[in-house]
Amino acid sequence: KQEVTQIPAALSVPEGENLVLNCSFTDSAIYNLQWFRQDPGKGLTSLLLIQSSQREQTSGRLNASLDKSSGRSTLYIAASQPGDSATYLCAVGSSNTGKLIFGQGTTLQVKP
Amino acid sequence: GAGVSQTPSNKVTEKGKYVELRCDPISGHTALYWYRQSLGQGPEFLIYFQGTGAADDSGLPNDRFFAVRPEGSVSTLKIQRTERGDSAVYLCASSGTGYTGELFFGEGSRLTVL
Per-residue confidence of chain B (114 residues) as pLDDT tens digits?
A: 579 999 999 999 999 999 999 999 999 899 999 999 999 899 999 999 998 988 899 999 999 999 999 998 999 999 999 999 999 999 999 988 656 668 899 999 999 999
Cβ neighbours of A102 in B, within 8 Å:
42-44
Percentage above 70 pLDDT, chain A: 100
Confirm if A25 and A74 have CB atoms less than 8 A apart: no
Confirm if A106 and A10 have CB atoms less than 8 A apart: yes
Cα torsion A14, A16, A22, A28 to 10°: value is 170
Q: Do A103 and B95 touch (CB under 8 A)?
A: no
The values of phi and psi at residue B11, to 5°, are -140, 125
Q: What residues does B36 pair with on adjacent strands?
A: B44, B90
Confirm if B79 and B67 have CB atoms less than 8 A apart: no
Q: How far apart are CA B94 and CA B30, in angstroms?
A: 7
Q: How far apart are CA B71 and CA A109, in angstroms?
A: 43
How many C-beta atoms surround the C-beta of residue A55 within 10 A?
10
Cβ neighbours of B43 in A, within 8 Å:
44, 89, 91, 100, 102
Q: What is the distance in angstroms between the Cα of A66 and the nearest Cα belonging to chain B?
A: 15
